[in-house]
Structure 1
Amino acid sequence: MKFLEGVVEFCAVAEVGNFTGAASKLDTSVAQVSRKVASLEKHLGVKLLQRTTRSVSLTEAGSLYFEQTFPALKSLENAQLSVSALQQTPQGLIRLTAPRSLSVKLLLLLCSMHL
């Protein structure tokens, strides 16, 4: 999926407004973010960011690309969080065999813990 290379970095720069903040957010170097964005721009054949010595702004193509890719990235992030949450929450059926008097006390105890 070569076409996805640099999308995360580009969206981070567009969201934060600079390469330094994007690198910090992604826990990587500014040079790495810059390389990835440049690679994405080369792949797309269009400039996404207007760079000056003091600022970074979105080009018209960059604005359009950001509007369409950012929600998709957020959706992927939410999907990952949802799947990860399944691993953290115990699930399934519990079967318990015990004398009736003990099982009633145990069920009452368990129910009181979740209230």
Structure 2
Amino acid sequence: MENKCNCPEELVEGYARKLKVCGHPLRLKMLCLIERQDCCVSELWQCLDQPQPVISQHLAVLKDKGIVDSATEGNKRIYRIVDPFVQNIIAGFDGILPEKSSQ
């Protein structure tokens, strides 16, 4: 029987691991915020109403898995999504998430 699977096993396994990491509700919210605008830890914990150590822990997981990276700008560490697979998924939320309100 011919193998008609279009998705190589190693790709599927890698994507499944990334989806599992991103599937945590708080991490998903963080990724949505980071996608809209590169953020630092203080912006994330204020927006998400979570303690700074909680946000830092989740960012460490995302960074360890290669989903986000950070760069120092002044006295802030700014986070960006660097994984193209995750970036495409989060960017796809644009049509279903409410617009960011300007204050």
When normalised by structure 2's length, the TM-score is: 0.49
- Higher RCO (CA < 8 A, seq sep 6+): 2
Which of the pair has more CA radius of gyration? Answer: 1
Q: Which has the higher strand share?
A: 2
When normalised by structure 1's length, the TM-score is: 0.45
Q: Which has the higher helix share?
A: 1
